[in-house]
């Protein structure tokens, strides 16, 4: 294929520590080597994209850079026997959008090992309503159910529920019959959380115990946590014997101020979730669950769609915690 010119968001370091963002024209010849060239239809904004878009060198070492850890689109060129021009595909995580030009551009070029065929049951647009956030929620729920949690065990607590991972976890869990309690955000979103399927709303201050006790009343059968810190510590101390808690994020804090008592006196299991290096068989299983039994009927209530031209403002809203749910980017507008 002859080189194609396309649009992408570019993050540049203007001077020491100050970063700017603008839409630029690039060529497919600027993209890194790889087996599969994808024309991106949709991307989405995840927490990690905001870090990359604001100059966080823990996520992106080198600038100028195009973030976007999620992309869904159509194969334009392929050196891999597994993919052919016209195939609809999803690419999330690995190094996409971190140090490899990501889904905030109209084309990406990636290794074939990073590419997942779009599962039957999802459109490209729908797949990005989930994106890495929904994939991580699905990995978390797989961990709960594969460790024996059933709806009969009791209520499941979801933190970060106004965000992407948490919101999709609330919706998926409630759709498959779990009773869900959701921790509200810093702005009241109880109506929205109820719409997603939360049966009980927990105020942020209620989610953090100030007593300093090693164990609290056992309330939760399990939990999906994406905020870490005092919230996760309080959740673990409040989890019923043999309950299961997943941990994927640090939106509040990377610290975990807790001792061993929930683990040695109640057999509570804390399971780490890492979407980035998730092996391909588990990756495909999670996407199949998302496209099938766990497909969320509340998805449209969670999503705001913006064109590439609206991406900069959408990133600012996420930095300022002025949004809820998921933001997807229509790259072809
Ligand atoms: N391990 C993995 O593979 C993986 C994959 C995806 C995401 N993550 C991590 O999961 C976390 C959430 O990601 P996301 O994409 O869902 O982000 P998001 O859409 O921005 O949602 C963040 C959520 O955290 C809440 N929050 C933010 N700061 C907080 C604080 N100081 N205290 C308590 N709650 C706070 C927000 O509540 P408000 O409504 O109050 O703002 C919102 O509910 C991030 O840490 C991200 O890095 C990890």
| CATH number for the domain harbouring residue 246 | 3.40.50.720
Q: Is 56 in the pocket of ligand 1 (CB under 6 A)?
A: no
What does the DSSP assignment read for 45-91? --HHHHHHHTT-TTT--SSSB---SEEEEEEEEESSTT--TT-EEEE
The pLDDT, as a whole number, for residue 9 is: 98
Buried/exposed 137-174: b ≥16 CB within 10 Å, e otherwise: bbbbbbbbbeeebeeebbbbbbbbbbbbbbbbbbbbbb
Looking at the structure, tell me whether residues 230 and 324 fall in a common domain.
no
User: 321 in ligand 1 pocket by Cβ < 6 Å?
Assistant: yes
Nearest CA to ligand 1 atom 6: 133
Please give the pLDDT value at position 1: 81
Asked if residue 138 and residue 108 are part of one domain, the reply reads: no
96 - beta bridge partners? 100
Ligand 1 binding pocket mutation candidate from 130, 133, 139, 163 (most atoms within 8 A of CB): 163
Is residue 235 within 6 Å of ligand 1 at its C-beta? Answer: no
Ligand 1 and 67: CB distance under 6 A: no
Measured from the Cα of 93, ligand 1's closest atom is 3
Q: Would the CB of 315 count as within 6 Å of ligand 1?
A: no
pLDDT of residue 16: 78
Structurally, the chain folds into a number of domains equal to 2
Task: Check residue 202 and give its pLDDT.
Answer: 98
Counting from 1 in the atom list of ligand 1, the atom nearest the Cα of 253 is: 31
Statement: residue 25 has pLDDT above 90: yes
Q: 48 CB under 6 A from ligand 1? A: yes
In a domain? residue 281: no
Q: Can you say whether residue 92 is alpha, beta or left, with left for phi > 0 and alpha for psi between -120 and 50 degrees?
A: beta
Query: Does ligand 1 have an atom closer than 6 angstroms to the CB of 47?
Result: yes
**Taking a C-beta distance cutoff of 8 angstroms, is the pair 244, 149 a contact?**
yes
What is the chain's mean pLDDT, rounded? 97
Taking only the tens place, the pLDDT of each residue in 168-196 is: 999 999 999 999 999 999 999 999 999 99
Alpha-carbon gap, residue 311 to 296, rounded angstroms: 25
CB 252 less than 6 A from any atom of ligand 1:
yes
Q: For the residues 120-137, what does the mean pLDDT come to?
A: 97
272, 288, 321 - which closes a domain? 272
Mean pLDDT of 28-56: 97
Which of the listed residues 44, 143, 160 should we mutate to test ligand 1's pocket, taking the one with most ligand atoms within 8 A of CB? 160
Q: Are residues 114 and 137 in the same domain?
A: no
Domain membership of residue 287 (yes or no) is no
Are residues 141 and 203 located together in one domain of the fold?
yes
**44 Cβ neighbours under 8 A, 6+ residues apart:** 70, 103, 128, 129, 131, 132, 133, 164, 326, 327, 328, 329
Q: Does the residue 63 lie in any domain?
A: yes
pLDDT over 90 (residue 333): no
Tell me the β-bridge partners of 11.
Answer: 21, 65
Q: How many alpha carbons lie under 13 Å from residue 146 in its C-beta half-sphere?
A: 11
Query: Is-cis flag, bond preceding 64, omega within 30?
Result: yes
Q: Is the CB of 188 under 6 A from ligand 1?
A: no
From first CA to last CA, the distance across the chain in angstroms is 23
The string over 84-120, giving b where at least 16 C-beta atoms fall within 10 Å of a residue's C-beta and e elsewhere, is eeebbbbbbbbebbbebbbbbbbbbbbbbebbbebbe
Classified as helix, coil or strand, 266 is helix
- Per-residue pLDDT tens over the stretch 211-225: 999 999 999 999 999
pLDDT one-digit tens code per residue, 80-111: 999 999 999 999 989 999 999 999 999 999 99
H helix intervals, 147-254? 164-175, 190-196, 229-237
User: Is the per-residue pLDDT at 17 higher than 90?
Assistant: no
CA 92 to chain centre: 10
Tell me whether residue 89 is in a domain: yes
- 38 and 139 in a single domain? The answer is no
pLDDT over threshold 90, residue 295: yes
Q: Which residues in 218-299 belong to E strands, given as ranges?
A: 220-225, 239-247, 269-272
The partner residues of 23 in beta bridges, in order of sequence, read 9
Domain-located, residue 70: yes
Residue 305 placed within a domain: yes
Question: How far does residue 189's CA lie from ligand 1's centre (Å)?
Answer: 15
Q: Does residue 125 form part of some domain? A: no
| Residue with CA at minimum distance from ligand 1 atom 32 | 252
Is residue 50 located within the same domain as residue 173?
A: no
**To which H or E segment does residue 280 belong?**
helix 280-291
pLDDT(247) > 90: yes
Q: Return the CATH number at 34.
A: 3.90.180.10
Rounded-to-integer distance, Cα 280 and Cα 283, Å:
5
Whether residues 16 and 112 share a domain: the answer is yes
327 Cα–ligand 1 center, Å: 14
Residues 52 and 23 in one domain: yes
Spatial separation of the C-alpha atoms in residues 204 and 165, rounded to whole Å: 17
Instruction: Judge if 103 and 141 occupy the same domain.
Output: no
- The pLDDT confidence band at residue 228, using thresholds 50, 70 and 90, is very high
71 and 19 in a common domain? yes
Residues 263-294 have pLDDT tens digits of 999 999 999 999 999 999 999 999 999 999 99
In a domain, 219, yes or no: yes
Q: Are residues 323 and 257 in the same domain?
A: no
Counting residues of the chain whose pLDDT is more than 90, the rounded percentage is: 97
Q: Are residues 146 and 250 in the same domain?
A: yes
Residue whose structure tokens are 């509040």: 252
The pLDDT of residue 68 is 98
- In this predicted structure, the answer to whether residue 66 has a pLDDT above a threshold of 90 is yes
- Owning domain of residue 239: 133-272
Question: Does ligand 1 have an atom closer than 6 angstroms to the CB of 43?
Answer: no
- The answer to whether the CB of 25 is under 6 A from ligand 1 is no
User: Does residue 330 have a pLDDT over 90?
Assistant: yes
* Tokens (6 digits) for 118: 């779009």
The pLDDT value given to residue 139: 98
């Amino acid at each position: 294929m002859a080189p194609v010119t396309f649009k992408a968001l570019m993050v540049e370091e203007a001077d020491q520590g100050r970063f700017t963002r603008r839409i630029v024209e690039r060529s497919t010849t600027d993209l890194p080597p790889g087996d599969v060239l994808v024309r991106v239809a949709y991307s989405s904004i995840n927490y990690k994209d905001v870090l990359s878009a604001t100059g966080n060198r823990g996520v992106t070492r080198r600038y100028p850079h195009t973030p976007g850890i999620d992309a869904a689109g159509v194969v334009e060129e392929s050196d891999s026997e597994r993919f052919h021009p016209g195939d609809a595909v999803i690419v999330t995580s690995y190094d996409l959008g971190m140090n490899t030009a990501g889904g905030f551009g109209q084309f990406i070029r990636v290794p074939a090992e990073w590419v997942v065929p779009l599962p039957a049951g999802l459109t490209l647009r729908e797949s990005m309503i989930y994106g890495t956030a929904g994939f991580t929620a699905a990995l978390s729920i797989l961990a709960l159910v594969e460790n024996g949690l059933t709806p009969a065990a009791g209520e499941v607590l979801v933190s970060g529920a106004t965000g992407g991972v948490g919101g999709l976890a609330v919706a998926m869990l409630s759709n498959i019959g779990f009773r869900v309690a959701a921790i509200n955000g810093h702005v009241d979103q109880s109506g929205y959380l109820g719409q997603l399927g939360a049966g009980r709303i927990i105020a942020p201050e209620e989610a953090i115990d100030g007593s300093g006790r090693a164990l609290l009343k056992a309330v939760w059968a399990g939990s999906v946590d994406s905020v870490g810190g005092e919230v996760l510590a309080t959740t673990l101390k409040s989890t019923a014997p043999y309950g299961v808690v997943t941990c994927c994020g640090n939106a509040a804090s990377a610290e975990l101020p807790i001792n061993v008592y929930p683990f040695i006196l109640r057999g509570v299991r804390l399971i780490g979730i890492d979407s980035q290096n998730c092996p391909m068989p588990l990756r495909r299983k999670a996407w199949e669950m998302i496209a099938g039994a766990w497909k969320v009927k509340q998805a449209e209530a969670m999503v705001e769609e913006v064109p590439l031209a609206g991406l900069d403002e959408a990133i600012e809203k996420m930095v300022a915690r002025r949004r809820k749910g998921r933001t997807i980017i229509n790259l072809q507008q």
